[in-house]
Structure 1
Amino acid sequence: MNEAGKKPKAVVVGGSIAGLSCAHALILAGWDVVVLEKSCAPPSGSPTGAGLGLDPLAQQLIESWLGPPGLLHKASMPLTIDQDQATDSEKKISSTLTRDENFNFRAAHWADLHGLLSNALPQDIFCWGHLFLSFCSSDDKTCVEVKTKVIETGKIIKIVGNLLVAADGCLSSIRRSFLPDLKLRYSGYCAWRGILDFSDNDNSEAIMGIRRAYPDLGTCLYFDLASGTHCVLYELLNKRINWIWYVNQPEPELKGNSVTMKVSSDMIEKMHEEAEKVWVPELARVMKETKEPFINVIYDCDPLEQLFWDNVVLIGDAAHPTTPHGVRSTNMSIVDAAVLGECLKKWGVANLHSALTEYQSIRLPVVSKQVLHSRRVGRIKQGLILPDRKPFDPQTATPEDCQELQQKNMPFFADVRSVVDLHLPFPMEHTCWQPALGALFIYNIQ
């Protein structure tokens, strides 16, 4: 409570997974929360969107926020296997490069996870259709005023809180206000992606074929590598297959504040033609039968030097834009939110600077290494140049080369599970936080 006996208030800009996770964590920490989201309503049905891989710690945190046990389990599919394989584009055959059968992730559709997190929150905290415009902090840094526009009416309103949380994605306008010269780094490739819904015909030739070619679909995260390119494939709940195909190319020109490109029918047709040249026929057919595939331009950012300024803090992709190859973006956002909530709960609004300092000291060393590792893995799988090794060729790679492809090589990956139930032998306020504890932050799940 603040001096007036009222709960402290946080304004969260961004209503995607990071923003919703932050709302859960801050409410549990005793804060009032307002979530500003420019979309005019929550997503309905199953719109075009991304599949997500959730690690064990993220799963536990989400389950702790949802209340009734098992909701996440029912809304996701197991990913118990992490497999990299090589495709010979000429012979149209595949061979296993490396396989980890103790992966223990789960796969969810973005819209399904968003619905779970959103429905478990008080609905009066959401301001849908509110476009963030600007903010300013009070002279004594005890409050921040956020200006937003109601898209439907054009009305400008002001909301005052003690803390502003930037969960507004990799193109964060809030981050830009502090780091105006910071530029995202183009990875050198874009990603075609899509979700094939086969709920109406699960015995089609395309589905039976893809299950023959990828027999562990339903439990496996497949990484299929050809020369200078790779594809990701896994199954989602409700008979959907998620695929992502990374293609090396010059940086395209983006329009608007989005890293997603609209595609024409000609672009899609050319993609189908190239898929038939590169991939086994079963995978190329899945791509061809997918409705409304789209392109993400892949960016990341060199690690930031700080994650907060006065009473403004960055979480999720606003804090650490990352390439997707380490399956980290969503997981980092969820842990960011949990750590921020615990720090705010520990220090209280009267010691906001200490809370944000501790959040930063816990998360920054971890996410920095994970961003750089994801960048490296992406360049390896795309056959791009790295200073310390030759371009990766899946047809001639040694077993030692292939081991570097595994997800479990992600910094701090192996420790995630163990700390959930860890009890430190000393109080938090005397802890010298090591980077590992940032990935393994102790979150007491009740």
Structure 2
Amino acid sequence: MAEKQKKKKSKVIIVGGSIAGVSCAHALTSIGWQVVVIEKTAAPPTGSPTGAGLGLDPLAQMLITSWIANPHLLQHATLPLTIDRNQATDSSTKVSWTLTRDEECNFRAAHWADLHGLLYNALPPDIFLWGHQFISFSISEDKSYIKVKAKVLRNDKIVEIDGNLLVAADGCLSLIRQNFLPDLKLRYSRYCAWRGVLDFSGREDSETIEGIRKAYPDLGKCLYFDLGSKTHCVLYELPNKRLNWIFCVNQPEPEIKRNSVTMKVSEDMIDEMMKEAEKAWVPELVKVMKETKNPFLNAIYDCDPLRQIYWDNVVLIGDAAHPTTPHGLRSTNMSILDAAVLGKCLEKWGVENLHSALGEYQSIRVPVTSKQVLHSRKLGRIKQGLHLPNGKQFDPKKATSEDLKELQQKNMPFFTSVY
């Protein structure tokens, strides 16, 4: 009877059904917690073209395979990225040369929707409340439970959900975080990223694909960072005949919607982007960009590391806890590790010692994510040719061996550490 009551009390409400939210659902269902996930989108994005590419580090791969019933599914849904290559391209001559090359990268490339579908399909579907928009929460006086209010978007009905723990997995613009840190402002990086995924299925022998493979011969196993004059581009292959590219452009902070860092783009904006791409990159890469349907634009933000990521019965994970720039391939990987560590801490302490569990989670993750956020920020500034704190700018033509070393993924703080 006591065991039944304990299980009944161990309930978590997760706000946000993206990678951080579904990872947290896996970590907590695996230790016997009752899980409810609130997500404002109407249905799971499985099989949709939503999102773009991402890279999974070895630890994230290990955790995902521990959560899904068939570990081989991760291998089928990803491609190996065994090479981390930084190169530079001269904008006037379009000649490229290698800056660094690491052949022991051990990442795997995935499309966001593929990874989300893999994780979602391995969970009980009845734990998800799709089409529910988070409104507010309240904590009981004795801190034993939390009540969350949400609106059912199809009929505007307000529902209340009780639990012991609220997990904010609601992204870098987290509404839950605003309750505790109302004055926190995200920091604009001074550049935006054009992103796109070219589906070349059925066109494997086209001039465009033959050309890009000749210009970037390690595609299919390589994470390319191509540095130009005050810009850089990322290129790698995804499963099912797709190419993922990111083109970063220095510009003043754009106007964005309050609840998104992704902007709607017009044909004129795309045309202007293509003109800039033609100035910076080899024709083969520009052709890939031109043939990509529906490229989109992200304003790149992070924030100075938070010292606190839990309050009473509320805890932050993923981008809600540590908004970061994308250059260290950290966002998804940090979200997965956050979920795993939170699960381990809750399993160790139990719901009856919830605050001890959250305190330990915070003490483990904050030192790691803080250094990784700041390192990713520095990587972005180096690769965009922006001034560093010491006043210098990275110049590929004048870079020393020490300068070049900073470009590599393996020099990310805690890169090989186990959680």
Q: What residue is the counterpart of 2:75 in the other structure? A: 73
Q: 1:408 corresponds to which letter in structure 2?
A: K
Q: What residue is the counterpart of 2:5 in the other structure? A: 4
Q: What residue is the counterpart of 2:84 in the other structure? A: 82
Matches within 5 A, 1:5-154: 5-7=6-8, 8-154=10-156
Judged with a 3 Å threshold, the aligned counterparts in structure 2 of structure 1 residues 57 and 117 are, in CA distance, closer, same or farther, namely: same
Question: How far apart, CA to CA, are the structure 1 residues paired with 2:13 and 2:283?
Answer: 49
Question: How far apart, CA to CA, are the structure 1 residues paired with 2:268 and 2:68?
Answer: 43
Q: 2:399 corresponds to which letter in structure 1?
A: A
Q: How many pairs align? A: 417
Q: Secondary structure at the match of 1:159?
A: strand
Question: How far apart, CA to CA, are the structure 2 residues paired with 1:179 and 1:120?
Answer: 34
Question: How far apart, CA to CA, are the structure 1 residues paired with 2:328 and 2:75?
Answer: 22
Q: 1:323 corresponds to which letter in structure 2?
A: T
Q: CA deviation at 1:171?
A: 0.3
Q: 1:218 corresponds to which letter in structure 2?
A: G
Q: What residue is the counterpart of 2:191 in the other structure? A: 189
Q: 1:201 corresponds to which letter in structure 2?
A: R
Question: How far apart, CA to CA, are the structure 2 residues paired with 1:361 and 1:152?
Answer: 40
- Identify which of 242, 259, 270 aligns with 1:268: 270
- Which TM-score applies when normalising by structure 1? 0.92
Judged with a 3 Å threshold, the aligned counterparts in structure 2 of structure 1 residues 45 and 6 are, in CA distance, closer, same or farther, namely: closer
Q: 2:408 corresponds to which letter in structure 1?
A: Q
Q: CA deviation at 1:389?
A: 5.3
Which ranges in structure 1 are unaligned for 5 or more consecutive residues?
A: 416-439, 442-446
Q: Secondary structure at the match of 1:221?
A: strand
Question: How far apart, CA to CA, are the structure 1 residues paired with 2:232 and 2:188?
Answer: 17
Question: How far apart, CA to CA, are the structure 1 residues paired with 2:257 and 2:59?
Answer: 36
Which ranges in structure 2 are unaligned for 5 or more consecutive residues?
A: none
Does structure 2 conserve the Cα–Cα contact (< 8 Å) formed by 1:13 and 1:36? yes
Q: 2:188 corresponds to which letter in structure 1?
A: Y
Judged with a 3 Å threshold, the aligned counterparts in structure 2 of structure 1 residues 385 and 2 are, in CA distance, closer, same or farther, namely: farther
Q: What residue is the counterpart of 1:376 in the other structure? A: 378
Question: How far apart, CA to CA, are the structure 2 residues paired with 1:69 and 1:291?
Answer: 32
Does structure 2 conserve the Cα–Cα contact (< 8 Å) formed by 1:143 and 1:163? yes
Q: What residue is the counterpart of 2:213 in the other structure? A: 211
Task: Give CA-to-partner distance per residue, 1:339-363, whole Å, 9 cap, x none.
Answer: 0001001100000000000000000
Task: Give CA-to-partner distance per residue, 1:389-409, whole Å, 9 cap, x none.
Answer: 520112222232111100111
Q: 2:58 corresponds to which letter in structure 1?
A: P
Question: How far apart, CA to CA, are the structure 2 residues paired with 1:3 and 1:219?
Answer: 50
Question: How far apart, CA to CA, are the structure 2 residues paired with 1:120 and 1:220?
Answer: 29
Identity, % of aligned positions: 73
Q: CA deviation at 1:270?
A: 1.0
Q: CA deviation at 1:255?
A: 1.8
Q: Secondary structure at the match of 1:414?
A: coil
Q: Secondary structure at the match of 1:188?
A: strand
Question: How far apart, CA to CA, are the structure 1 residues paired with 2:182 and 2:15?
Answer: 18
Q: Secondary structure at the match of 2:290?
A: helix
Q: Secondary structure at the match of 1:217?
A: coil
Does structure 2 conserve the Cα–Cα contact (< 8 Å) formed by 1:85 and 1:225? yes
Of stretches 254-263 and 387-396 in structure 1, the one that deviates more from structure 2 is 387-396
Q: CA deviation at 1:3?
A: 8.0
- Which TM-score applies when normalising by structure 2? 0.98
Task: Give CA-to-partner distance per residue, 1:162-201, whole Å, 9 cap, x none.
Answer: 0000000000000000000000000010000000000121
Q: Secondary structure at the match of 2:110?
A: strand
Q: 2:199 corresponds to which letter in structure 1?
A: D
Does structure 2 conserve the Cα–Cα contact (< 8 Å) formed by 1:23 and 1:33? yes
Does structure 2 conserve the Cα–Cα contact (< 8 Å) formed by 1:167 and 1:317? yes
Does structure 2 conserve the Cα–Cα contact (< 8 Å) formed by 1:131 and 1:149? yes
Q: What residue is the counterpart of 1:234 in the other structure? A: 236
Matches within 5 A, 1:216-295: 216-295=218-297
Q: What residue is the counterpart of 2:177 in the other structure? A: 175
Q: CA deviation at 1:105?
A: 0.3
Does structure 2 conserve the Cα–Cα contact (< 8 Å) formed by 1:97 and 1:399? no
Does structure 1 conserve the Cα–Cα contact (< 8 Å) formed by 2:46 and 2:116? no
